[in-house]
Every structure is written in C-alpha cells, then in structure tokens.
Chain A
Amino acid sequence: MAGQKAQPTQRGVKKAAQSAAGADSEHNPDVETANSSKRHKQEAPKDAFSALLEPFYFGKALTDPINTAEDKWNLLPAFLKTKGLVKQHVDSYNYFVNVGLKKIIQANKYVRCEADPKFRLEYTDIRVLPPNRVDEENFEHHISTVTPNECRLRDMTYAAPVAVDIVYTRNSQRIKRRNVKIGRLPVMLKSNLCVLQGLNDREMASKDECPLDPGGYFVVRGQEKVILVQEQLNKNRVVVESAKGLIQASVTSSTHERRTKTYVIQKKGLMFLRHNTLSEEIPIVIVLKALGILSDQEILSMVAGGDEAYQDSFMVNFEACGKEKIHTQEKALEYIGFRVKIMKKQAGYRARNYHLEAIEYLSSVMLPHVHVSGTKFRPKAIFVAFMARRVLMAMLDPKLVDDRDYVGNKRLELAGQMLALLFEDCFKRFNTEFSRSINKVLKTQNRASEFDAFTHFNTNKFIITEGLQRAISTGNWTLKRFKMERAGVTHVLSRLSYISALGMMTRISSQFEKTRKVSGPRALQPSQFGMLCVADTPEGEACGLVKNLALMTHITTEDDEVSVREVAIQLGMEDISQVNGKELHAPGKYAVHLNGIPIGIITMPKHFLNNFRQMRRMGRVSEFTSIHINHYYNAVHVATDEGRICRPLIVVENGHSKVTARYLKALRRGNMGFEGFLRRGLVEYLDVNEENDCNIAFGEDRINEHTTHLEIEPFTILGAVAGLIPYPHHNQSPRNTYQCAMGKQAIGAIAYNQFSRIDTLLYLMVYPQKPMVKTRTIELIKYDKLPAGQNATVAVMSYSGYDIEDALVLNKASVDRGFGRCQVMKKSSEVLTSYSGGREDRINAEQISAEKPFHDALGVDGTVQVGARLKQGDVYMLKQIPVNPTASDTTWKDKNLKYKLPDESYVDKVCITENEAGSKLFKVLLRQTRRPELGDKFSSRHGQKGVVGLISPQEDMPFNEDGIVPDIIMNPHGFPSRMTVGKLMELLSGKAGVLDGKLEYGTAFGGSKVDDMGDVLLRHGFSYRGKDYLTSGITGEALRFYVFNGPIYYQRLKHMVQDKMHSRSRGPRAVLTRQPTEGRSKDGGLRLGEMERDCLIAYGTSQLLLERLMLSSDVHDIDVCERCGQIGYHGYCQLCGSGAGVSRLQLPYAAKLLIQELGSMNVKVTIGLEDEFPRE
C-alpha cells in the first residue's frame, strides 16, 4: 500500500478507499455503506460522533424512547467527539503554539548588543507556519505536501518553521522584516498545525494515516515520540507540612523569570521565613515589618485574627523582633538586606546598600508569583501573613497539615508546557548567540560596508531546530536557567498493539523517586476517583507511580484571571487592598483566593459560590475555572491555572438533572453537541478540589435535595486500557491490573495503515476478531475495529497432564485453521553515508555471483528481491564503504548485510528513499508468519495468562452433541484462587451471544445480566449455567461431568518461544575474560548462578563445581615459580632467571587477569604452591 498526496489523483482516491476498506476487514461493511449513504447528504467528517448521526445509534433507533437514567451515557461519545482520547496533549500543544509562544516572545522582546547601545532588535510577533520539508524551507508561497507517514518512512522530523516579525536598527534606521524563520518546531500529530487536523476518514486514508490513530505524539527522526504527562506538586500554592514535628508552610513560586521555594517555619515556638537566598532564617515579624506592616496590632490581627489561642501562640514572635530592636521599616529592611546572599560578585569593592538590596529581594526574589507594583508590598505581606496563619493553625490542630498525595494538590505537566520551557531556553540561547555575533562586528570601529544585523540572524537557526529535536528524540530536558535536568521525558510510542499506543498516550509518570520506601505516593487515593484509572498501573518498581488517565478526564490549560476578578467583584467581593487586618479574619468573613493568592473577602461564601457557578455556566468565565470553599481556613479558592485534572458532570438543580430527554433527543438527532451541553450549563467541568466540595449522585435515582451533580457514566472511572475488561467489577482487583499490563502486549491489528508502515518490529495478527463480549469503552475507543485477539471456544476441564500451572491445551485443527496465527515484521534499515570528499557508500551489484548460494535472494540492483525467502547467512544487501573516504584511492570495503536469524523470513518490502540529509536510505522489511507452538503465551482479558502446554489433535479433544470441539482447554484450577468471576460471566454472555447471533456487553457496573444470559441459554436448549455434556475424544465415552464451556476472548501475547529458545554447547567467548558470552543474541552460555553454586556446595559435589565454574568456562594454564610465587612463562621464571621449581597449573583466566590487573596497580600477588598429596 502506498502513500497519497494532499490532492489525490482520481486513482489515488480510489486506492485509498480500497485500502481503508481492506484494513477495516470483513466485519465492518455496514459502517462503510452507512457512511456512503450519509455522504450524499453532506460531506461531514466521520468520527466518534458520526455513529450518533446514523439511523441506529449503538443499537438504538432514533425513534426509540429515551430513558434519561440509562441514556445519559450518550454524552460520553459526544464528549470524546469534541475532545478525543488524547485531547490533553493536543490542547496543551495548541495552547503553546497559539498563546505560549507569544508569551515567550513578550518576555524576551528585545535583543541588545553591548558594543552599540543604539542597536536594538525587537520581536513584534511570532507564528508557526504549516509543516513542510527542510528543503522547502526557503520557498515562498509553496504548499507542502509533507505527511507524517512520509516523515516516518524517510526518517525525517515532522516539523514546521517558526517565523517571527522583527524590527531592528540598521545605521540608525528602523528596519521591519516579516516572517523571518528562526527554526523548526516539531509538530504534534492531529494538533491544529498538523496536516491531519480535521480530516475525515477518507482524507486520512489518502494521507496514508490511520483514522483511528490517536495523534498527540511527534515524529522526530522517523521515530514516534511521546512526551509523557508529568505529575508534580502544585505551584504557587501554600502547602503545610509537618517534617519531624516541625510545622512548615512552603510555596513553590513559578513565574517565567524565576522558580524559588519560600518557607514559613516554626522553630522552638517562633516563626521564621526561610529562603534559599537568605543566609539565615528571619523572624516573621521582621519580614512583615519590612513589608510595610508597622504596627504590632495590625500584624497580630493579620496573622492571628481575633482568636485568642492563635494570638497567644503568636505573641512570642513580637519579643523576638523586640530583642533585635527593630521598630521601623528601615531597620527591618536593613536586617533583611544584611542577610541576603549576594548572587554575583560585584566588580570592585563597593559598600553594600542593605536597604536597596532588601527592597530588591522582597519585590522580585521572595514569592515572585505575588505581583506587587513598586514598593507597595501589601499583597506580599498579606500572603506571608496567610502562610504564617496556616502554620499557626496546623500547630494547634495537626489535622490541618496538607496531604501531598491528594490529587487536588497536584498538577500535570503536559507536552505544551514542557516544550514551552525548552523553547524559551533555546530562544534565549539563540538571542545571546545572535547578540554575541553582531557584537563582534560592531566592536570593530571601521567597517568596510554597511552592517546589516540580519545577515547574522539566519546563521543560528540550528540552535532552536536542533535543541528541540535533540531534546525530544533523547528525552533529556536540560535547562540551565532552572537548573532542570530531566531524563526520560519522552518515550518511543509503543506500537505493539493499538491499545499499547493508546495506553501510552494516557500515561502519567511521577517525578517521585522509585527507590524511596514511602507508600503514600503509590497508594490509591480516594480523590483520584473518576480522574485517574483505578486499575491501570504497572506492577513492581513503578507500581502506583505510573498512572493512567480515566476515560473522561481533561487537563486544563491556563485561563484568563482578569475576567474571574471582575466577576468576583461583581458578586460582592471586597478587594483585599481595602481591607485591614482586623477585617481579614473577622468571623464570617471568607477570603477569596485566586490561584492561591488572596484577592478579596466576602461575607456569604455559599452564596458567592453558587452565583459564581451560575456565572461559569453562563459562560462569563472559562468553563475550566474551578471554585470551592475551604471551611477550615475560611477561604474560597478559585483556580484558573494549568495542569488541573478535571472531568465533566451533569448539573443537578433543585433535585432534577438538567439533562432531560429533550436534550438527549437533540443529541441523538445531531442538533446538539457536547459543546452545546456545556454552553447551556447542563454539563460542567469540575476539578478535583471542586468535586470534593460537591454532592455527586451516582445514578438518577439517588438524587436528593443536597445533590449538586450527577455522574455521566460510572464506567468512566476506568481508563481506556482497563475498559477492555468485560465485567471488571466482578474480578478481584489485582486481576484487572494484570490485564491492563497484558492488554498492551496482545498481538492484533495496529492501525489501518499498518501495511504501509515500516517499523523496527511489528506484530500483526492474521485473523483478528472483535470480542463477543464487548464493553462501551471498546466501542468508544474503537477497539472493535482494531482488535487484538480471537474468540476461542474454551472448555474448562482437566485434560492430560499438560495443563498444569495455567498451561493451555490447544486444538491442533484450530491452529491449522489460523487460530493465534501472527506475523512478525522486522525492519532492517541502512543509510548510504556521504563523506566529505564527495564519496558515499555504495551498493555493488557487480559482486553477485551465481555460484554463491547465499546470493540467491539478491536482485540485479544488489538489494534483495521482494518476496524472496531469506535463510540464515543469506546476503540481502551488497553494501560497500570506501576504505578511506577522504583519500583519492578508490578501494572499497565490503559491508554486506547478512540475515542472522535461524528462522527463515520473507522479504515483504524494500523501500528506497532519501533522508533529510540527502543520503540514500534503504529499508528492508522482513516478514515471518508464525503459528502458535508449544510454549507461546496466551491470555484472556482477566489477567489469566498461560502458555501452550500441548497441541492436541482434534480427534482426541472432547466434543458436545453438536460436534463442537473446544479451541482451548483450560484447567479449572485457574479459578478458585484468582477469583476472576468476570471471566465466567464473559463465557456465559459470550455463549448466549453466539446462540442469539449478537454481541453482548460486559461494561463495568452494567452489562448483560447473568440471569438474562441463562434465559437465552435455556431458550436454545442449553443448561442455564453454561455447562454442557461432552464426550471424550480419546475413549468415546461420555465425560462423567458437565463441562463449563463457551467462547472467551483470548489474546496472543508477544512472548513467543521462537524469540527466546536458546541453547549452546561450545561457542563464542568474551575477549577480556575468556568466559562464555552472555545472552541469546550473542549465542551466550547458560549461567550457573551463585544460587546454583550454593546448591552444589551444599551437596558437596566439588568436582562438578570445578567443571562448571572453571573447566567448562575459562580454564587457563599458567606456569608458576615455586620460589617467588610469580607467573612465569614456558617453564621459565623471568624473575628468578631459572626454570627450576616452575610448575604448571590450571586456574580460571579471570583469576590470572585479576592477578595481572592488581600487578598493574602495584599490588603484588604471590602464589604459594604446595603438594596436593604431600609425602609424610
């Protein structure tokens, strides 16, 4: 299959449609026809929502009655339509491109030069142009036809040029230039910049892209890279912690310029302010005085308010200040200025002006996120006072210490934010480089020609292009400015199966170290309900630290603060600057915090909250603004910051859900989308903090007078990967977690464009089937279109002895018919490097000789023929490299590529192309078809994995009276201890579905009922319990028990015997130690490890030990001189100068090596010899 251009030719379109239909496989013809009939009316993009527009919506006709309690889940596909599964990545990237870049330009607007103070370059605007190829960079008005798939095939970076508008001085003239390119920004697939944005299925196919592909990743140097979501403690918020009995309030301030952490700590009953740039802790009262709060009375009321207990415990702090005799602001400033660490050594000695230093420190270094104008420090004073109050409160009531693991106290950092950090760093570097290079020219006094700084502007493009590309392709985020050094930020998108790619896009990694033995961060947090998947986390090391997003979560981007402030004032908030300390904590007064900073006070918080929500539902503020009341601190928190996790819920007013049948009908008719629901205030987003402050009903029947919201659908508490499990609510919870890990290893269809991809390793199932028992999630993420597994008829019974320990017995006839058959595609790619001398590697077809059997597969061009079979040792490319690329001699060295695996492969594809550098690139795709064999791994969808223990002939298998023979026999011992009741239910529903000719549902907290399934079975003359009478295939007699059998969806996992089988007798050895090599790929030996060694010692088999550890490994003969104990040579000791008393002995080569290595470090080792059997 091949790629199409943006404007496909007639022929291209036809082919694309075919390819889409072909990959769609036979099970989906009705969707195709439904679409084509729809297309006659309108050319609407087809996606999750299109199902809604069809006459039957997930099995319901348009005219069917609507039951709001059941059908409200229809909102879910509508949600996924507007947002998609990886909306968080795409949204964040779009925000970065549209807003973030402009902010960075604003913050770094001017570039000046030391040599010429008149020179100035100003950035006026920035934009990202549509993606193109590197060689099209300089074409004007050229529409590029680049596609992501072309980038994958050609090992290119899918990137777009970043253009700026600049104004700069040239000979005291102001020159304007528009659309100056400063570098290339990798483009996230399916973002607004991407060519795939907003395409329908047919257009996607014409671009050789899978319509089901989630997007949200980058293609860098031909590799698909994902920037994982990073989890962090929230910024700019006060966190109260208790560390070893000491209470401290800390806040990590993060602004564009600075990142610092400020503490208010409590020590020996006194309170201090601690900060990195302060040489010692400063008493809190002094800080407040320096910030302009002069009277003790005011300080006391700002911190402690009217509460006597608080006042009493705070009073001591005034004594500390009094002792220092600080009563004025000047004195306090001086006190602080004296303790500010000097960052830069000033040139020449100058008396420090403590006063000014303190002002500078207070205004921009301490708590930089609290903005102050000039020296009006009151907002900062209030912030510090609030911090101190939090510490006071936590001292008296330890329960008020914050929970760091609470999801509401966390922020998720997404691709856009990570890129913004990186881009700003690169951009700054670009500017300093530019300034440095023009500085060099401007310094020289007499210039020959007129100087145009623009000529220097273009030379540093690579800083941004390379900087971004390198960071994304290696995953190392190194930012000197923030002293940030993070490795493993990006990962290669796993394309093992569709699910593994999806699962990767929703993954969240924590910054927490894995080695620490604290259970808190790993534990399941009640607050992650509905936000993070409860089942999907890896086992072992990263357990609980790596999480996955649930189905309906959204991660916020930054929103405007100004509109929130306006709305709050309209709702009766008194601005904080008009409030004195006494009123601040007056009883009944609540402080309003906007993104953690107090902005005003109100008297009726509940009223304020309700009104604010009304405003939000009306659209006066962004729908992602959150508001909640904290009654402990008398505070109302409003948040508009980025990285909050939130999810949509149905609004309930006066005990009634606002989503009524009427609206659902409109949704079904297609008159209303999810956006419409949001705009009408029927549905709203709640973040974790606000969710915690609401009464959310689980179902419509549970709504009471206190209810504020209604859950859209309970199964959305699970993520995309856990959503595959049928009846997960009947399984023991670890089983669901196991399945989440295994679902990602299942072999199946990867994407519609799987045959036009050339991946390093690709596993494909030959006959994938969609599961008999599906879930709503399966439909929503379209797993049924790219399935990874087959519906096997499973008999739960014991058969032979080859089914113990979870082993499975396969029916040989099923295997012959294609059960579990898969293809393994391996890529081998080869670049013909060009050298500086103008020469490049070549393929020498002249070498082909008919006499050499290992040249059989080669074609006339020196590369392998497509379709040829490759055996071990066959040559598939006759590559040659110049012996000396720079010299003029034309000798060549052979670098023939040989096929190394013991199993044969067929050549599927040979792709010849050019990479970004213009070098020729050969990609050979090799294919193997593998049928299941003994030892291959299979698993059901319930964490029940097993290997094939026996492939039994069909004649020997049991059968029922209809002649049905199971595909798999599974041992019943797998059930009692695992308690995977869901699997039993899957079997039952699957069997009923088979008999009724339809697919049943196993959706979490719902799905087809067991009783109904039993009725179906009864109706078809089967036992309602799913058990059948079987006849033994071996004896021909009836089995003396009924056997539970029916279809269960089985996944074939990627672990196959063929890739692991290994043995060796003699073989290669490592050069240094002369011990056998390690690992299958190097034909290594099988290690007798230390535990095995222990056994042999305990058993006393010394000769066996000697053989295993020395004789079969690295035995070595040396000559040792009896006299000096040194190693001699050939029966002669160099040291003693004689051959007398030199004896020959055997020892491990490693020992000899050790002795010599010690010798090289001036440690002498002497070997003492004595007779093994001494004469008496």
Chain B
Amino acid sequence: MSSQPYQGSTSASQANPNAVDNLTTGRSVEYVCGDCDAIVALKRGEPIRCRSCGHRVLYKQRTNRMVQFEAR
C-alpha cells in the first residue's frame, strides 16, 4: 500500500554546498500572521515572527493553484 516507488531523492542534495547557500538567500514565501493578519514574507532560516505584532504563529496562505473538489 504505502510502498511507493519513490527512492530517487537520497542523492539529490548530497554534497552540494551551493544548494545550502541558495536556500538561505533564496526567495521568500509569504505567510499570514495568526494574530494581526499581516502578511509576513519569510526567507529560509529567518525567525518565525510577525513583523508588525511579534506574534509567533504564522499560517501559510491558501494556494492559488486550481483545486478540484468532488461534490458529493
């Protein structure tokens, strides 16, 4: 059941120091503050904290991809 043919990635990231750097400086993702609803753009490795109110619970924004539901 759970035996998916997924093994590929074990080697993907190994010994690639550049990848680490890319990640830390990489693009930021926007989250929503759980307290004041402000949008918080976070980069990797940044402390998780709302910039306007200091709240430490952030939520990911809803996807803008299409989502299909089965209406039954």
Contact = CB atoms under 8 A, between A and B. Distances in A.
Residue among B1, B19, B33 facing the most chain A CB atoms (10 A cut-off): B1
Interface stretch (A8-16, A56-64, A349-357): A8-16
B68 A869 contact: yes
B15 A891 contact: yes
B58 A912 contact: yes
B60 A859 contact: yes
Interface string A815-853: 010000000000000000000000000111111000010
B25 interface: no
A550 to B, nearest CB: 39
Interface stretch (A338-346, A896-904, A943-951): A896-904
A931 B56 contact: no
Given A913-B56, A1083-B1, A865 B63 contact: yes
B19 to A, nearest CB: 5
A878 B60 CA distance: 16
B67 A894 contact: no
Size class of the contact patch on chain B: 35 or more
A868 B19 CA distance: 27
Contacts of B62: 865-867
B53 A5 contact: yes
Nearest to A12: B36
Given A900-B2, A910-B59, A869 B67 contact: yes
Given A2-B35, A2-B37, A9-B36, A893 B10 contact: yes
B56 A842 contact: no
B57 A3 contact: yes
B23 A154 contact: no
A436 B58 CA distance: 45
Interface string B1-18: 110101011101111010
A873 interface: yes
Contact of B2 (A154, A816, A867, A872): A872
A931 B72 contact: yes
A863 interface: yes
A754 interface: no
A406 interface: no
A154 B13 contact: no
Given A866-B61, A890-B17, A15 B27 contact: no
B35 A3 contact: yes
A892 to B, nearest CB: 5
A910 B60 contact: yes
A153 B42 CA distance: 19
Contacts of A656: none
A448 interface: no
B4 to A, nearest CB: 4
Contact of A872 (B1, B8, B9, B13): B1
Interface string B36-63: 1100001010011100010111111111
Given A844-B13, A868-B67, A898 B37 contact: no
Contacts of B14: 891-892
Contacts of B9: 847, 894, 896
Nearest to B5: A873
B4 A866 contact: no
Contacts of B55: 3, 5, 150
Contacts of A15: 37
Contact of A868 (B2, B10, B23, B63): B63
B58 A911 contact: yes
Contacts of B36: 5, 9, 11-12
A890 B15 CA distance: 7
B29 A860 contact: yes
A280 to B, nearest CB: 65
B32 to A, nearest CB: 7
Contacts of B22: 846
A95 interface: no
Contacts of B32: 2
A861 interface: yes
A1029 interface: no
A914 B37 contact: no
A872 B63 CA distance: 20
Given A154-B57, A866-B62, A844 B67 contact: no
A909 interface: yes
A912 B67 contact: no
Interface string A649-667: 0000000000000000000
B13 A863 contact: no
B57 A913 contact: yes
Given A867-B62, A869-B67, A1083-B1, A847 B12 contact: yes
A898 B59 contact: no
A920 interface: yes
Nearest to B27: A860
A683 to B, nearest CB: 44
A154 B61 CA distance: 19
A854 interface: yes
Nearest to A4: B35
Contact of A846 (B4, B13, B58, B59): B13
A898 B35 contact: no
A844 B18 CA distance: 13
Nearest to A868: B63
A147 to B, nearest CB: 9
Nearest to B37: A2
B4 A854 contact: yes
Nearest to A840: B45
Contacts of A920: 48
A880 interface: yes
A502 B59 CA distance: 30
Contact of B29 (A150, A153, A816, A859): A859
A913 B1 contact: no
Contact of B47 (A860, A869, A914): A914
Nearest to A896: B9
A892 B63 CA distance: 29
Contacts of B42: 912
A900 B4 CA distance: 10
Contact of A898 (B2, B10, B12, B58): B2
A898 B13 contact: no
A185 to B, nearest CB: 22
B1 A2 contact: no
Contacts of A900: 1-2
Nearest to A883: B14
A150 B57 contact: yes
Contact of B23 (A846, A896, A898, A914): A846
A842 B23 contact: yes
Contacts of B67: 867-869, 906
Contacts of A890: 15, 17, 20
Contacts of B4: 854, 873, 898
Contacts of A847: 9, 12-13
28 contacts: A4-B35, A5-B35, A5-B55, A12-B35, A150-B56, A816-B72, A842-B44, A844-B13, A844-B23, A845-B23, A854-B6, A861-B29, A865-B60, A867-B63, A868-B63, A872-B2, A873-B6, A875-B6, A893-B10, A896-B9, A909-B60, A910-B59, A911-B34, A911-B60, A912-B57, A912-B59, A913-B34, A914-B48
The 6 closest A-B CB pairs, nearest first, are A865-B63, A910-B60, A873-B4, A861-B29, A2-B34, A866-B62
Given A842-B44, A890-B20, A912-B48, 15 more contacts: A2-B34, A3-B55, A4-B35, A5-B36, A150-B55, A844-B19, A846-B19, A846-B23, A852-B6, A865-B62, A866-B61, A890-B17, A909-B60, A913-B34, A913-B57
Interface of B: 1-2, 4, 6, 8-10, 12-15, 17, 19-20, 22-23, 26-27, 29, 31-37, 42, 44, 47-49, 53, 55-63, 65, 67-69, 72
